[in-house]
Amino acid sequence: MTHIKRVVLLMIIMNIVLLSGCSSFFVENNTVEEIAPVIFWSIQEGESGKLKISTLVPPLINEKKSMLTLQVNLLKQGRKDFNLVYYRELKSGQLRMLFISEELAKKGILPLIDTLLTDPDISQRLYLVVIKGNFEDYIRNQVDKQENLDYFLYRMLKHYETKNQGDITVINLHQFLKRLYSPFSDPILPVFKVNKENFIYHGTAFFKDDKLVATISDMNDQILQLLNNDYYLKLLPIPSLAVSLGQIRSKVIIKLASDYSSISIKVNLVGRIEEYRGDKNIVDSDELEDLNQEIKSYLEKQTTALLRNMQQWKVDPLQVGTHSLTPFSQPIKDEEWLRKWGDMELQINYQLDLQTMTNVNK
């Protein structure tokens, strides 16, 4: 009797196993010698609405590197097709950077970004970069001269991201999307200019929703770092006043009028004068005061111009709108905010506290 029971039990268990089907446990094969975990993808506009995506393989092994480029309709199609043209399987688990061409960014990048976000393999710390110029040419030209080019580009972005070094804008996938979806804040991305020889930081791109609307560079970009992004600059050279400021830390106090008709931005800068090539004797306190005034008015003028531009473009990358939020009142609508932001009166005020290095002398 017990014998029959056991047989019945065994049969039932067998059937349960069979119900699960005969598929294998894992389909992934991650033998290191056989895969190519790519570090970056570069996406440009291709012909007739297609995407042109390229990457550098193999990323880590000591083997001659080559560039793969494909024209595809879909991002994932590219991932699949790369495997067909290359003898190693490409894996996206180590994807660290995404280079998007400026033309593509102007048309909107949300579908691309969403694809990357929903892939559990891809880290949300993926760096997004807008590229002006032909990135492929640069890679093709440089890959022989410099080993592990892709890896060093990644290290560069990572270097400036950690501890907000205050030189360049570095934005990752999550930060971009959080700014994209949140009201009162528009996303920004770093812009790099490339030609055959160089890969140069150009400035910061402003996005309206997922479309690039404007790019700022040089002094404007530095001011952006001070006002919002890092609140710190290692160096701020002002050529027109023949002065370089260093180790600047900023404290920004933003006050909105209750009817949103005006905004006052107070910026306290603490830093030091590290270089001076003008004709003032800055050891003398009166002349130093003059220089301070010049720097102050210069910064105020520049900042006002930058903010006027933002108002014109109807973007709010400084996230000024978040200052309208309070714990016990209802937030205003995003569109309403942008309209009010467009014709808001600006009052910008800098407060400088600059030390002189004593050996700067005339």
Answer yes or no whether residue 125 interacts with another protein by CB under 8 A: yes
Answer yes or no whether residue 87 interacts with another protein by CB under 8 A: no
Select from 3, 4, 27, 259 the one that contacts another protein (CB under 8 A): 27
- Residue identified by tokens 């160089």 is 198
Answer yes or no whether residue 4 interacts with another protein by CB under 8 A: no
Size of interface with another protein, in residues (CB under 8 A): 34
Select from 48, 146, 330, 359 the one that contacts another protein (CB under 8 A): 330
Answer yes or no whether residue 12 interacts with another protein by CB under 8 A: yes
Answer yes or no whether residue 91 interacts with another protein by CB under 8 A: no
Select from 178, 277, 301, 333 the one that contacts another protein (CB under 8 A): 178
Report 222-261 residues binding another protein (CB under 8 A).
none
User: Residue 107 CB, nearest distance to another protein (Å)?
Assistant: 22
User: Residue 349 CB, nearest distance to another protein (Å)?
Assistant: 23
Select from 47, 62, 64, 327 the one that contacts another protein (CB under 8 A): 327
User: Residue 119 CB, nearest distance to another protein (Å)?
Assistant: 10
User: Residue 181 CB, nearest distance to another protein (Å)?
Assistant: 4
User: Residue 98 CB, nearest distance to another protein (Å)?
Assistant: 16
The span from the CA of 11 to the CA of 148, in Å, is 58
CB 210 within 8 A of CB 108: yes
Candidates 121-129, 190-198, 274-282, 300-308: pick the segment binding another protein (CB under 8 A).
121-129
Select from 23, 31, 146, 258 the one that contacts another protein (CB under 8 A): 23
> Taking the CA atoms of the chain, what radius of gyration do you get in angstroms?
27
Answer yes or no whether residue 32 interacts with another protein by CB under 8 A: no
User: Residue 328 CB, nearest distance to another protein (Å)?
Assistant: 5
Tally of CA atoms within 13 A in the half-sphere of 265 that contains its CB:
24
* Shorter beta-carbon distance to another protein: residue 81 or 119: 119
Answer yes or no whether residue 162 interacts with another protein by CB under 8 A: no
Select from 30, 66, 73, 164 the one that contacts another protein (CB under 8 A): 164
Using H for helix, E for strand and C for coil, what is the string for the chain?
CHHHHHHHHHHHHHHHHHHCCCCCCCCCCCCHHHEEECCEEEEEECHHHCEEEEEEECCCCCCCCEEEEEEECCHHHHHHHHHHHCCCEEECCCCCEEEEEHHHHHHCCHHHHHHHHHCCCCCCCCEEEEEECCHHHHHHHHCCCCCCHHHHHHHHHHHHHCCCCCCCCCCEHHHHHHHHHCCCCCCEEEEEEECCCCEEEEEEEEEECCEEEEEEEHHHHHHHHHHHHCCEEEEEEEHHHCEEEEEEEEEEEEEECCCCCEEEEEEEEEEEEEEECCCCCCCCHHHHHHHHHHHHHHHHHHHHHHHHHHHHHCCCCCCHHHHHCCCCCCCCCHHHHHHHHHCCEEEEEEEEEEEECCCCCC
Candidates 25-33, 101-109, 234-242, 288-296: pick the segment binding another protein (CB under 8 A).
25-33
Select from 34, 80, 111, 181 the one that contacts another protein (CB under 8 A): 181
Select from 65, 106, 296, 323 the one that contacts another protein (CB under 8 A): 323
Select from 39, 72, 177, 338 the one that contacts another protein (CB under 8 A): 177
Tally of CA atoms within 13 A in the half-sphere of 38 that contains its CB:
24
Answer yes or no whether residue 123 interacts with another protein by CB under 8 A: yes
* Shorter beta-carbon distance to another protein: residue 14 or 200: 14
The sheet that has 199-208: what strands, in order across it? Answer: 66-72, 51-57, 40-45, 97-101, 127-132, 188-194, 199-208, 211-217
Q: Give the residues lining the site for another protein (CB under 8 A).
A: 5, 9, 12-13, 16-17, 19-21, 23, 25-28, 120, 123-125, 164, 174, 177-178, 181-183, 322-323, 325-331
